[in-house]
Amino acid sequence: MNPPSFLRRVLPGVVALPAATLLGWPGVALAGGGGGKGDLEQTLGAASLLVLVALAYLLAHLVLARLERRFLFVSGFEYLLLGCLIAVARMMGTGLPGDPVQVLPIVALAAGWFGLLSGFHTKRSEFATEPTGTFSIALLDMIFAGLSTGTISYFLARWAGGGEHALVIGGTIGCFAATGGTSPIDVVKQRYKVQGKLVPVIRRAAELSDVLALAMLGFFLIPEGATALPTTGTPLWLGALGLLLGAGLGLFFVPFLGRDPSPNSQFLALVGIITFGSGAAYLLDISPLPVNLALGAVFINVSRAGRQLRSTLEQTERPMSLVLYVFAGALWLPPHSAGEWLATLAAATAVIFFRWIGKVAGAFASTVAGQGRADLYRGLLGQGHVAIAMAVSFRLLYSGTFATNAAYTAMLASVVFYDFLAPRTLRVLLADAHQIRKEQEA
């Protein structure tokens, strides 16, 4: 018997919030002997915060789920905000940020989930049947958005004193900016009846943008102990290692898939595989996202159970996204001074603006190449789960300096901004193309 839809959507967040609060609050989660008055007060404070956050979570879910369709925005930012509130409360209670290692297994699972799901978008038959020119649109969009945003991020990181991490920051944010998002399409289709050929092109281009960005991420998001220049070959080796590791693990696990076709068994198998692959990636100090991307690509193209596994991943996408968003916020480190706040705001504005410019340039380049329309960028502004997963992977490998903290904040701000904006720009694009017929009945 399946639980009601409401419980399936709410329960993962109710579980994630207590875990994020306790794991992110070392003074409470790890409180041991002594049992002094200070420990009791701190525990009561944590319990009070936990109740308030849980109530806020339920309120956000019940209210925003209804506002999403009416005002055309992608929900999810509320869970990110709740995670940020946990981070602020943690710092006010202890004075020190929590250790990301404490939440590593859960975050690695949630982030790896979306890397694996993106890999399932590489089925050979889908490339053969996709709308003409879609891959060119996605490639040009990725190149221009990634280059424009990554370049400005590189120079901003050097200006902020993060020269030793500038290449990592620039490359990671470039890959981050190149991601797409299909959630704006789903939001618009909830409200309007959409017909025409434009939406399939946008959806497929967004999926391919995620695949390309994840494949490139491993060449830039390298461990802190290996920040050598690209001429040394270290980034190239680590980037290739992530993809090869994922492909090898995929071939190893394929014989074990499909023996039990039940969704529960497939879900547990995927959890184990993602945890194993992500753990191996972090053991080697590389991002788990390219590893899981290659895993998914092997599964969908080699395993006979590939279609069933993809269905299982898609059905559990929302619960995993809630977990990912909450922990992404809980890992946030607020700036310490007014000057840092201003500099971080400037960095976030630059990332948002230059991503927009890159999207416009990519759409124009597509028309020059004879593909798409000049205003197609309005349908490709969305970000979402893969972008958040990239930001979290960066945060787990890099933190502690102003430049890296500002970069992480800028990435979170960009996702929130475009989740608000993308459905509206997509609606305008579809209206101009005469592919919105009428509003759906409530």
Are 90 and 220 members of one domain?
no
Domain count, the chain: 2
Are 260 and 329 members of one domain?
yes
Angstrom distance (rounded) from CA 326 to CA 359: 28
Cβ-based neighbours of 133, under 8 Å, separated by 6 or more: 201, 366, 370, 371, 372
Are 276 and 420 members of one domain?
yes
Q: Which residue has the higher pLDDT, 393 or 286?
A: 393
Angstrom distance (rounded) from CA 4 to CA 11: 11
Angstrom distance (rounded) from CA 239 to CA 315: 30
Residue range 361-366: mean pLDDT, rounded: 92
Residue range 389-396: mean pLDDT, rounded: 90
Are 52 and 200 members of one domain?
no
Are 362 and 290 members of one domain?
yes
Of the pLDDT bands very low, low, confident and very high (cuts 50, 70, 90), residue 33 is very low
Region of poorest pLDDT, from 69-73, 248-252, 310-314, 367-371: 69-73
Are 32 and 63 members of one domain?
yes
Q: In CATH, what number is assigned to the domain containing residue 221?
A: 1.20.1530
Are 133 and 66 members of one domain?
no
Give the pTM: 0.84
Q: What proportion of the chain, given as a percentage, has pLDDT over 70?
A: 78
| 134 has pLDDT over 70 | yes
Token pair of 369, please?
Answer: 């190449």
Angstrom distance (rounded) from CA 169 to CA 166: 5
Final residue before a domain boundary, out of 60, 94, 128: 94
Nearest residue to 123 (alpha-carbon basis) of 199, 213, 211 = 211
Q: Fill in the DSSP letter of residue 256.
A: G
Given this model, what pLDDT does residue 411 score?
96
Are 129 and 236 members of one domain?
yes
Given this model, what pLDDT does residue 1 score?
41
Are 116 and 245 members of one domain?
yes
| 26 has pLDDT over 50 | no
* Domain extent for 376: 100-439
Structure confidence by residue, pLDDT tens digits, 297-321: 999 988 888 888 888 888 888 888 8
Given this model, what pLDDT does residue 227 score?
42
Are 88 and 181 members of one domain?
no
Final residue before a domain boundary, out of 94, 124, 151: 94
Are 89 and 111 members of one domain?
no
Are 144 and 67 members of one domain?
no
Region of poorest pLDDT, from 52-56, 103-107, 217-221: 52-56
Given this model, what pLDDT does residue 124 score?
86
Final residue before a domain boundary, out of 94, 110, 144: 94
Of the pLDDT bands very low, low, confident and very high (cuts 50, 70, 90), residue 32 is very low
Q: Fill in the DSSP letter of residue 437.
A: E
Q: Which residue has the higher pLDDT, 297 or 225?
A: 297
Nearest residue to 87 (alpha-carbon basis) of 414, 420, 409, 389 = 409
